[in-house]
Structure 1
Amino acid sequence: MGTEQSDALARTTRVNLLFDFYESLLTEKQRTILTFYYHDDFSLGEIASEFGISRQAVYDNIKRAEGALESYEDKLLLLEKHERLMKVAELLERGVEEIVMNDSDRSKLMAAIERLKAAEGTAREGGEDSWQHLKA
């Protein structure tokens, strides 16, 4: 894969992650255009046709929405915190696998790590009681 393709894939992945965290802060039009472009793989021309606007207007809307997502991340750092938490969870999983212990204890620790990951996913979606299942 070429550097340009790799950069485009990394950019798409980042926008999709930011969209997961900050979707509700975008306007309806921004959400729809980004969904068409990044999730549904519509071309600029297809989106332009759908909205009755020019391809340039679609491009400008995408860039403004991306800028808004980056601005929210600069201020709130939700994606950065999520990535750090997932790295810690991975380290915990590897550490648990290396520790000599009985299968029951290992299973309990792995289940706790999975609940931590699940809670992070639920918190990203904005659930009020997203931490309740940690008590299980």
Structure 2
Amino acid sequence: MEKVIKITLLYDFYGQLLTERQQRFIELYYGHDFSLGEIAEEYNVTRQAVHDTLKRAEKILTGYEEKLGLLDKFMAERRKISEALELLRGFRQDPNPGLLDRIEEILTEITKLVEK
């Protein structure tokens, strides 16, 4: 997964656990495509301070994901939903009961993931 997308998704899940400054820097850098220099100028700090804050925030977000795994769980659910959707579309072409069985299995797996 591309770093920008991964950090953005991690921020969606865990961003509220960062300091306000870390949140703002992540939003500006990853969400609004500001450069380190632009953020530094806006906050009257050095580019190095912005860089260090971003790296610290990224490490914190990654640490939460390692402990909680919410992004991995979300991505697994999306893959399963996509698979079920493809099988359902295939069922329209060929109403094979085996496809319905597999769709039911996938939906059961998703339900178990959500319950955890």
Counting aligned pairs with the same residue, the percent is: 39
2:48 is matched with which residue? 56
Alpha-carbon distance between aligned partners in 2 of 1:21 and 1:35, rounded to the nearest angstrom: 13
Alpha-carbon distance between aligned partners in 1 of 2:11 and 2:86, rounded to the nearest angstrom: 30
- The CA RMSD measured in Å over matched residues stands at 2.0
1:114-133 counterparts in 2 under 5 A? none
Alpha-carbon distance between aligned partners in 2 of 1:55 and 1:42, rounded to the nearest angstrom: 12
1:42 is matched with which residue? 34
1:82-97 counterparts in 2 under 5 A? 82-97=74-89
Alpha-carbon distance between aligned partners in 2 of 1:97 and 1:35, rounded to the nearest angstrom: 38
Opposite residue 46 of structure 1, the aligned amino acid is E
State the number of aligned residues.
97
2:100 is matched with which residue? none
Which secondary structure does the structure 2 equivalent of 1:53 belong to? coil
The normalised TM-score by structure 2 is 0.78
Deviation >4 Å, runs of 4+? none
Opposite residue 30 of structure 2, the aligned amino acid is Y
Opposite residue 25 of structure 1, the aligned amino acid is L
Deviations 1:59-118 (A, max 9, x none): 0000000000000000000000000000000010011111145xxxxxxx9xxx8xx9xx
Alpha-carbon distance between aligned partners in 2 of 1:83 and 1:62, rounded to the nearest angstrom: 24
Segments of 5+ residues of structure 2 without an aligned counterpart are 96-102
Opposite residue 40 of structure 2, the aligned amino acid is A
Segments of 5+ residues of structure 1 without an aligned counterpart are 1-8, 102-108, 117-122, 124-136
Please state how far the C-alpha of 1:45 moved relative to its aligned partner: 0.6
